[in-house]
């Protein structure tokens, strides 16, 4: 198989349960695979080395800065950004092959993503196609350098790959895993609010909590995924009020008003 002139960049932190599947989905066709590991204490690095990747160890300061540094290590102009709990479907590989063998019209492309909890593909509540901007020219793309949910800055317009040419995202093993991730992400969200000086009131946080829940459940039809869809809507609302609770505590601890 001819290799595609793209650098696959993967960020890892204790991903021994996921990294093998992720790397198998890109090994053999991507011209370069880069793994930037955030000081894992499990077998992530050992497993990654088996695939002959270009490996870097670097502690994450914040997500945006960490990803920008990782992309800068790529030798190719085109970068495919993956998380360790994701894999590239063969249909997506073929789509990228055709795209990059020609003259791409755009400097970046979104890719549809299938989000799973356990073995269940969540199709509603905004969870599919849930397209992510993951394929881009590295010199025209960067992330905002903040702790969580960084914004994208892109020189140019964005193209979109079609549904069916997907990334599979094994988001959560179960609800316990979902809650553990939610706990970590809300801490980072609250930290970001403090660092950027964002003002958040209890009333606004309460409104956002309610809005997120009902928007996912009804407008985005999460109810069609049954109980799992309902819980996704609950957790979407919970994210808002948990972030506020931690923000409130951090402000009190720092003596901020």
In this prediction, residue 147 carries a pLDDT of: 82
Per run of 10 residues, the mean pLDDT along the chain (length 257 residues) is 91 96 96 97 97 96 94 98 97 96 96 97 96 97 90 96 96 96 96 92 97 98 98 97 97 87
Domain range for 200: 174-254
Same domain flag for 166 and 191? no
Smallest Cα–Cα separation from 27: which of 42, 49, 46? 49
Same domain flag for 197 and 244? yes
Angle at 122 between CA 141 and CA 246, to 5 degrees: 65
Same domain flag for 158 and 207? no
Same domain flag for 141 and 222? no
Domain containing residue 161: CATH number? 3.90.550.10
Domain boundary among 114, 136, 171: 171
In this prediction, residue 2 carries a pLDDT of: 79
Contact 63, 152 (CB under 8 A): no
Same domain flag for 43 and 123? yes
Is 122 strand, coil or helix? coil
Same domain flag for 247 and 143? no
Domains: count for the chain:
2
No. of H helices and E strands in the chain?
7, 13
> How far apart are alpha carbons 91 and 93 in whole angstroms?
5
In this prediction, residue 149 carries a pLDDT of: 87
On the CB side of 171, CA atoms within 13 Å amount to 17
Verify cis geometry, omega within 30 degrees of 0, for the bond prior to 129: yes
Same domain flag for 183 and 162? no
In this prediction, residue 1 carries a pLDDT of: 62
């Amino acid at each position: 198989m001819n290799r595609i002139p793209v650098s696959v960049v993967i960020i890892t932190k204790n991903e021994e349960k996921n990294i093998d599947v992720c790397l198998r989905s890109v090994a053999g066709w991507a011209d370069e695979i880069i793994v930037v590991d955030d000081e894992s204490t499990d077998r992530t690095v050992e497993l990654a080395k088996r695939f002959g990747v270009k490996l870097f160890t670097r502690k994450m300061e914040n997500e945006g800065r960490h990803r920008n540094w990782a992309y800068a290590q790529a030798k190719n102009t085109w970068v495919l950004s993956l998380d360790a709990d994701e894999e590239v479907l063969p249909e997506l590989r073929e789509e990228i092959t055709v795209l990059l063998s020609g003259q791409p019209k755009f400097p970046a492309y979104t890719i549809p993503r299938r989000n799973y909890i356990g073995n269940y593909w969540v199709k509603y509540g905004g969870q599919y196609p849930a397209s992510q901007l993951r394929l881009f020219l590295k010199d025209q793309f960067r992330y905002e350098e903040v702790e969580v949910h960084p914004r994208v800055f892109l020189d140019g317009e964005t193209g979109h790959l079609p549904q069916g040419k997907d990334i599979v995202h094994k988001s959560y093993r179960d609800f316990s895993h979902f809650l553990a991730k939610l706990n970590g992400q809300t801490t980072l969200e609250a930290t970001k609010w403090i660092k950027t000086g964002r003002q958040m009131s209890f009333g606004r946080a309460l409104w956002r909590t309610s809005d997120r829940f009902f928007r996912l459940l009804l407008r985005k039809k999460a109810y069609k995924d049954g109980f799992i869809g309902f819980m996704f809507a609950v957790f979407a609302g919970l994210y808002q009020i948990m972030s506020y609770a931690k923000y409130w505590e951090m402000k009190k601890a720092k003596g901020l008003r």
